[in-house]
Structure 1
Amino acid sequence: MMMEQFRHSGDFLAFTLANPNGLAPCQFELGSGVTVEIWDTGVICFQPAQAARQHIILSCGVHGNETAPIELCAAIVQDILQGHLTPTERVLVLFANPAAINLGRREVTENLNRLFSGHHSKGAGLINAERQRAQALEQYVTRFYEGAPANEPRCLYDLHTAIRGSRFEKFAVYPFLHGKPWRKQQLQFLAACDVHTVLMMQTPASTFSYYASHSHGADAFTIELGKVQPFGQNDMSRFAQADNALRALITNRLLAPKPFAAEDFHLYEVYRAINKQTQDFKLHFADDVQNFTSYPLGSLLATDGDLEYRVEREGEALIFPNAKVAIGQRAMLMVVPTDIQHNLI
């Protein structure tokens, strides 16, 4: 797709996928007065005509086969470019891994969501396109937030869909805050997105949302909106509340949220992480077992050579099981219900 076609159609996703290895930076203004800046392939920034109060990043396609968030973000961007939606806040939209999107695969070489907070340069260094892209995405986030006054709200919502189904269709991961309190306002926004299950992380991570939270003080989340489906096979009506809430956020039309009530949420914290240590790692439950499934005490969950992993605690539930990860990476998290009322503002 050429620039002329893109300007006519407003289809930034198609423009990105036709140019997965890079786009020359450019800038133009919409009839609404919104300034559009293309920083790179998959990286588009909207500056409103009037001074903004919030600085919002929407990210999708960190994993190339997670299509529903890609379609959701593509529609938002297209509506802005065609004048159907006029942001009043600064917005950066990231289609994070165009090469993997083109392949319809989770990753090309390496899991992009394990490469942030400098992990892209550890070990062998910037040896593949995903490591280079992780470094570039960090730089774009830094550039965007450097344009924001320190006292103004900044957020990043990294939108995903999970490999498998979930007992709770939609859920979010709240990065480790290093002792800072969790924010009611953000939980209320998640609820407006129809996300009522939240995993409160207890340790640093190499994910995109942790990077934005820890390095830039952003309210950042990994948000799982459902299960992986091919392009064109998503029931987008299932994401209508998330779509409406994101559009309301960037146009400053959010209605007053329902007062926070703990009973409206299913809150979990990580009890332990199970990492793959050998090629013999094996999960001992069906491939279609849902996230947040619990088993009786003592149930065998996985083996890794001579090691056995069993349910250790009542109420312990599994999440993100994946035996195909690289050796040394997390193959599964075990989580337990939690109460965060003591550290909530």
Structure 2
Amino acid sequence: MIAQQLRDSGEFLALTLAHPDGLSPCHFTLSNGTHVEIWDTGVIYFQPPQYGQHDIVLSCGIHGNETAPIELCADIVRDILTEKLLLAERLLVLFGNPAAINLGKREVTENLNRLFSGHHSKGAGLINAERQRAKALEIYVSRFYQHTEQPRQRYLYDLHTAIRGSRFEKFAVYPYLHGQPWRKQQLEFLAACDVHTVLLMQSAASTFSYYASNAHGADAFTIELGKVRPFGQNDMRRFAQANTTLRALLTATLPELPAFESIDFNIYDVYRAINKQTQDFKLHFADDVENFTSYPIGTLLATDGDIEYRVEREGEALIFPNAKVAIGQRAILMVVPKSITAHLK
């Protein structure tokens, strides 16, 4: 019954949100030969009858109120299920946190994107649904990538929107590569998605994209496509380039991309992270200050009890400021411009 319902409507997101706590696994085959498997609520796998060397994960809804990527991925899934989009690559689509999506909130209990690479089981362990979901998503990604022993190219694009506006509407976070060079081809792909600003992480993290990169050798990114808005209030025309480019990747119709030119990008390096240490943590700038805003050296950014955090370097800019994070988590990331031409492969 579920199989026929999905063939007719393609509404996997609606099915997911109607069953936020779980779906029984099932599988079926579309008339074009594409094999479909539902592994869990929000987890759907596609294998076309003939497929290339790319194993692609698209994830969204890791934060439940980031609706534009959820709508984008729901449309892709709908078009695959209703056979308007013929895949040429294996694909796993993940709607990360269905319960939070239903609530229209970033999280239910805990930030899901701080629980990967085993962080879900540290401390008190698997004490809430987000920790359990993080562990399950790791298992599903591992299952997907371990399809064959033959070498294949692995991708994970974790799609988000940011809490606040940004000087650069779209930007990507490139996980720490432990000394490996950044991939020029992936930067070219990001540019084709209309993402020209890239933040280079310099340490291990508990994010989903770092997990895929570090544990599975995937080309993985956290991609911020704009600002958080409620369902129905997103101008999807602003994401048209990302949508078109992702669909071209999935259908093996991606044209030759323009060669990387550093002048086309805004590249930033992480300079330092400011972590919240007490409940007295306070930001000393307006709530509507945009990501990548910079201030003169010496400007007070935040206080945490008796501790003051000030701008230390020329060009230092702030990103992801959030005074409401849990104690011990990052409250501001400070970044500086960087040239990477010599470190690309």
TM-score for the superposition, normalised by structure 1: 0.99
Amino acid at match of 2:344: L
Gaps of 5+ in 1: none
**For each residue in 1:205-241, what CA deviation from the matched residue of structure 2 results, as whole angstroms up to 9, or x when unmatched?**
0000000000000000000000000000000000000
**For each residue in 1:51-95, what CA deviation from the matched residue of structure 2 results, as whole angstroms up to 9, or x when unmatched?**
431100000000000000000000000000001001110000000
Match of 1:88 in 2: 88
- Aligned to 2:87, the other structure's residue is in SS state coil
- Measured on the aligned residues, the alpha-carbon RMSD in Å equals 1.0
Amino acid at match of 1:275: N
Instruction: Give 1:341 deviation, angstroms.
Output: 1.7
**For each residue in 1:243-270, what CA deviation from the matched residue of structure 2 results, as whole angstroms up to 9, or x when unmatched?**
0000000000101000111111000010
| Conserved? CA contact 2:3–2:27, under 8 Å | no
Match of 2:48 in 1: 48
- Aligned to 1:164, the other structure's residue is in SS state coil
In 2: Cα distance, 1:122 partner to 1:151 partner: 32
The verdict on how the C-alpha distance between 1:148 and 1:186 changes in structure 2, with shifts beyond 3 A counting, is farther
Amino acid at match of 2:162: A
Match of 2:71 in 1: 71
**For each residue in 1:175-212, what CA deviation from the matched residue of structure 2 results, as whole angstroms up to 9, or x when unmatched?**
00001110000000000000000001100000000000
In 1: Cα distance, 2:147 partner to 2:344 partner: 29
Amino acid at match of 1:341: T
Instruction: Give 1:340 deviation, angstroms.
Output: 1.3
In 2: Cα distance, 1:58 partner to 1:148 partner: 20
- Aligned to 1:125, the other structure's residue is in SS state coil
Match of 2:146 in 1: 146
In 1: Cα distance, 2:149 partner to 2:240 partner: 32
In 1: Cα distance, 2:81 partner to 2:3 partner: 13
Match of 2:272 in 1: 272
In 1: Cα distance, 2:261 partner to 2:50 partner: 35
In 2: Cα distance, 1:156 partner to 1:213 partner: 8
Tell me if 1:107 matches 2:107: yes
The 5 Å alignment of 1:176-191 reads 176-191=176-191
Match of 1:334 in 2: 334
| Conserved? CA contact 1:55–1:148, under 8 Å | no
Percent same amino acid among aligned pairs?
A: 75
In 2: Cα distance, 1:64 partner to 1:128 partner: 16
Tell me if 1:293 matches 2:299: no
Instruction: Give 1:32 deviation, angstroms.
Output: 1.0
Instruction: Give 1:339 deviation, angstroms.
Output: 1.1
Match of 1:120 in 2: 120
Instruction: Give 1:313 deviation, angstroms.
Output: 0.2
**For each residue in 1:298-325, what CA deviation from the matched residue of structure 2 results, as whole angstroms up to 9, or x when unmatched?**
0000000000000000000000000000
Instruction: Give 1:8 deviation, angstroms.
Output: 2.0
Amino acid at match of 1:134: A
- Aligned to 1:143, the other structure's residue is in SS state helix
Amino acid at match of 1:169: E
In 1: Cα distance, 2:101 partner to 2:148 partner: 30
In 1: Cα distance, 2:204 partner to 2:150 partner: 23
| Runs of 4+ in structure 1 over 4 Å off | 1-4
Amino acid at match of 1:303: T
The 5 Å alignment of 1:307-318 reads 307-318=307-318
The 5 Å alignment of 1:177-326 reads 177-326=177-326
- Aligned to 2:308, the other structure's residue is in SS state strand
Match of 1:161 in 2: 161
How many residues of Structure 1 are paired with residues of Structure 2 in the alignment? 345
Instruction: Give 1:152 deviation, angstroms.
Output: 1.4
In 2: Cα distance, 1:297 partner to 1:149 partner: 52
Instruction: Give 1:151 deviation, angstroms.
Output: 1.9
Amino acid at match of 2:124: A
In 1: Cα distance, 2:30 partner to 2:3 partner: 15
Amino acid at match of 1:79: D
- Aligned to 1:324, the other structure's residue is in SS state coil
In 1: Cα distance, 2:169 partner to 2:150 partner: 35
- Aligned to 2:75, the other structure's residue is in SS state helix
- Aligned to 1:206, the other structure's residue is in SS state coil
Amino acid at match of 1:185: Q
Match of 1:29 in 2: 29
Instruction: Give 1:102 deviation, angstroms.
Output: 0.4
| Conserved? CA contact 1:58–1:157, under 8 Å | yes
- Aligned to 1:49, the other structure's residue is in SS state coil
- Aligned to 2:94, the other structure's residue is in SS state strand
| Conserved? CA contact 2:3–2:28, under 8 Å | no
TM-score for the superposition, normalised by structure 2: 0.99
